[in-house]
């Protein structure tokens, strides 16, 4: 029996459905849309189409499918163009519905393409990675990367539904599962000390009995934050708290080259850098920094850069970040493990030193 969590955003409200296998429910939704004369299209990636071909057919039958090359490279102007051409080829009209079947790359790209196509058509999320299930499929942030930076082009476009079917994780590579754990750890650090303690006691794995409950817990945290600050306009805190580790992480992805680090790997290093910045600001101590490193490492994630990156290049990438306001960058810092806050006016030298502490030069 599927469980449900509502994201309450007035006319943009939707439900997140949770279950081991939601194929029949998704197939019924597709049949209902088709019976109403609404065209349906699926965007996925080649790995998913190959490894989960049976699930794809069970959910969508003969619906047109675009399978993009896997990886961050698809989340680009070229990938956007291919997706829009696919919509045009299959005559997706304003009543059309796009299903994003995949990880964060597919969800971000397909959601942005849906937002742009005919000035906005509906889309629904079927996340297939841990990272997408706990984070990117919820909240309506869509977009692509350009050379200047991560997610600099995009739109707020809420899905009409999210289907979290945990059986889809069975073919997920261990590295991808670990990458998703960076976002789970983030939720513990920014606002759920009990979740953090649980992760410290026993690392979460694909076989953990509590995996489904943890996924739902993370979605509930994000839903609450999104409901309070959908478009990240709060002067302090709000949705910006979800960027814990991401200001550092996005810069790492940009400078290293998209694809060198999985998003979650870069965020993991970013969490370690953010902990060091928080220590330099006097908010937490060395013991807390060590705990952050330990829980990150326990989940198979890097705590330092694999190869040195230039601090100057990282600083320049951060200066192009979406979170810059009035020429200044706001960081998310830890006030304690389980409590975070946004803070501006930070001396750039402290950010440089935090990067140096995780291997930048």
Catalytic residue among 75, 250, 299, 330: 250
Catalytic residue among 17, 186, 263, 291: 263
Whether 243 sits among the annotated catalytic residues: the reply is yes
SS3 at position 203: coil
Whether 246 sits among the annotated catalytic residues: the reply is yes
Whether 90 sits among the annotated catalytic residues: the reply is no
Whether 39 sits among the annotated catalytic residues: the reply is no
Catalytic residue among 29, 72, 122, 183: 183
Catalytic residue among 217, 222, 276, 330: 222
Q: Which residues contact 62 (CB under 8 A, 6 or more apart)?
A: none
| Residue 253 to residues 73, 151, 265, 292, 313, Cα–Cα distance (Å) | 12, 11, 9, 21, 11
Whether 119 sits among the annotated catalytic residues: the reply is yes
Whether 250 sits among the annotated catalytic residues: the reply is yes
Whether 47 sits among the annotated catalytic residues: the reply is no
Catalytic residue among 72, 122, 176, 232: 232
DSSP for 291-322, please give it: HHHHHHHHTT--SS-SS---HHHHHHHHHTST
Among positive and negative, which fits the CA dihedral 84, 87, 91, 95?
negative
Q: Which residues contact 347 (CB under 8 A, 6 or more apart)?
A: none
Among positive and negative, which fits the CA dihedral 53, 54, 56, 62?
positive
Catalytic residue among 47, 145, 151, 243: 243
Catalytic residue among 141, 150, 157, 323: 141
Whether 279 sits among the annotated catalytic residues: the reply is no
Whether 222 sits among the annotated catalytic residues: the reply is yes
Catalytic residue among 157, 239, 276, 323: 239
Catalytic residue among 150, 217, 246, 280: 246
Whether 141 sits among the annotated catalytic residues: the reply is yes
Catalytically active residues are 119, 141, 183, 222, 232, 239, 243, 246, 250, 263
């Amino acid at each position: 029996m599927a469980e449900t969590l509502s994201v309450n955003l007035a006319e943009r409200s939707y439900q997140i459905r949770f279950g081991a296998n939601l194929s029949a429910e998704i197939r019924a939704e597709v049949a209902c849309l088709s019976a109403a004369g609404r065209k349906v299209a699926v965007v996925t990636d080649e790995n998913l189409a190959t490894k989960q071909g049976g699930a794809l057919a069970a959910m969508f039958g003969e619906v047109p499918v675009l399978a993009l090359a896997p990886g961050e490279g698809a989340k680009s102007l070229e990938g956007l163009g291919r997706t829009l051409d696919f919509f045009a080829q299959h005559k997706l009209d304003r009543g059309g519905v796009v299903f994003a079947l995949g990880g964060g790359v597919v969800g971000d790209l397909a959601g942005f393409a849906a937002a742009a196509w005919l000035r906005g058509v509906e889309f629904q999320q079927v996340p297939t990675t841990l990272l997408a299930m706990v984070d990117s499929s919820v909240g309506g942030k869509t977009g692509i990367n350009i050379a200047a930076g991560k997610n600099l082009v995009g739109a707020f476009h809420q899905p009409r539904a999210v289907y979290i079917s945990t059986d889809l994780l069975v073919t997920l590579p261990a590295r991808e599962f670990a990458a998703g754990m960076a976002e789970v750890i983030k939720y513990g650090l920014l606002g759920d000390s009990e979740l953090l303690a649980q992760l410290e006691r026993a690392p979460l794995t694909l076989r953990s009995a509590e995996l489904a409950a943890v996924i739902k817990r993370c979605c509930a945290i994000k839903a609450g934050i999104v409901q309070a600050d959908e478009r990240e306009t709060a002067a302090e805190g709000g949705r910006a708290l979800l960027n814990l580790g991401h200001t550092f992480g996005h810069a790492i992805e940009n400078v290293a080259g998209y694809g060198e680090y999985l998003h979650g790997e870069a965020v993991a290093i970013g969490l370690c850098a953010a902990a060091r910045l928080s220590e330099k600001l006097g908010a937490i101590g060395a013991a807390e920094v060590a705990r952050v490193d330990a829980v990150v490492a326990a989940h198979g994630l890097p705590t330092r850069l694999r190869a040195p990156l230039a601090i100057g290049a990282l600083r320049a990438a951060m200066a192009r970040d979406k979170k810059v306001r009035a020429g200044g960058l706001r960081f998310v810092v830890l006030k304690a493990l389980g409590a975070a806050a946004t803070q501006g006016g930070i001396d750039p030298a402290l950010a440089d030193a935090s990067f140096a502490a995780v291997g930048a030069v």
